[in-house]
Amino acid sequence: MKKTIIITIALGLSAITGWLATGCSKTEIVEVAPPGVSFEKLTDALHMVLENDRTVYTQKVVNRLVKEDKVIKASEHWSEDQALPLPAQMFRMGAELTASKDAWFSYSLQSLWPINKSNAAGQTEVEKKGLEFVAANGGAEPFYGQETLGGQNYFTAVYADVAVAPVCVSCHNEHKDSPKTDFKLGDVMGGVVIRIPMDS
């Protein structure tokens, strides 16, 4: 009888130990659901990276070397002139490189006062609305909208593109094709448009 009781207790303890062990390991491999990110948060994050990189290039590279140290020029024809690409061109090259990698999102620099008119020729109604919105509020907050292009639904965000350095203002005000020539430091000159497809 004693023997039976001991065996029963031993089996019970083993079962409890096994259950605990299994439970512990289960806790370790529980799959954590990926954090849900809203379209707004996603485009905000993308924009922060884009804006910061561009601001650093504009202030620490172009403005410093062109305006302050005067050791090199920045030129629209940068390759031919052996000069620095303009910040807007650096931004566009990055956007084109992203597109060349068949990225599922896209971004571009747009303006209500474009130097290159053909760049603005295809502006969508949502883009125009967004550009007007950020220009009117001085970049205080971004614009979020939705649109359907080529049968695909998109979440489209527009962020103010602000003149962060004197070189932005002087270049736009002096360019022969610029439709606006009275920009000041801190003005909204255009907008960064980020577009995310909403359907899988």
Partner 1 sequence: MLNFLKGNWYWMLGVTALAGYLGFALQGGAEQVLMPGITTHGHYQIELDCAACHTPNMGVKQESCNECHAEELERVDDSHPVIKFKDPRNAERLAHLDARYCITCHREHQPELTTPMGLTLPADYCYHCHQNIAEERPTHVGLDFDSCATSGCHNFHDNTGLYERFLVEHLDEPDFKPDAYLRVRDYYLTHFGERGEALEQARAEYPHELKVSQDILHDWSATSHAAAGVNCRACHDMPDAETGVMVWVDKPNYESCQKCHDYEVKGFLEGKHGMRLAHGMSPMTPGMARLPMKPESAHFELSCMSCHSSHEFNTTFAAVDACLQCHDDQHSTAYKNSPHFQLFTQAEDGLRTPDEAVSCATCHLPRVEVSKFGETLVRVDHNQNNSLRPNDKMIRAACINCHGLQFSLDALADPQLIRNNFNGQPKVHVESLDMAREEQERTEASRR
Residues near partner 1 (CB under 8 A): 77, 79, 96, 99-100, 102, 106, 108, 117-118, 121-124, 127, 149-152, 154, 176, 193, 195, 197
Which CB sits closer to partner 1, 165 or 190? 190
CA distance linking residue 59 with residue 165, whole number of Å: 6
164 vs 172 by CB, closer to partner 1: 172
C-beta of 195: minimal distance to partner 1 in Å? Answer: 6
Cβ at position 156, least distance to partner 1 in Å: 9
Residue closer to partner 1, measured from CB, 126 or 165: 126
Q: Which two tokens stand for residue 132?
A: 């007007």
Beta carbon nearer to partner 1, 23 or 151: 151
Distance (Å, whole) CA 190 – CA 111: 4
